[in-house]
Amino acid sequence: MDQLTDPKRFLAMVRELYSQPAAESFDIVEFKDGRSFERYSQPQRIGEAIVGRVWSFRDITKRKVAEKGLRESEEQARRLARENAIMAEMGGSSTRP
């Protein structure tokens, strides 16, 4: 638990799911070392009876890092486009009579 960025939220969700056996959930669990995992949980059934809970965790750290890099690249491209527009405007006004 001490590895999680928000252990209280993690435990609260676990408790909530066990208090509502038929509930399904999906969220992101983030670790202090920068890793991120998707967490999915659903009831385990035999016939119509709920007999337990199935948990699934998937490491999405690489995807989140790639998404962050993409957002940063997009912001840089927007910034450069704004700067180019300003420079073009400044250059265009200086050539007018």
- How far apart CA 17 and CA 76 sit, in angstroms, is 42
- How far apart CA 75 and CA 72 sit, in angstroms, is 5
Q: Is the pLDDT of residue 91 over 90?
A: no
Greater model confidence, 44 or 88:
44
Q: What is the pLDDT of residues 16-61, one digit of tens each?
A: 999 999 999 999 999 999 999 999 999 999 999 999 999 999 999 9
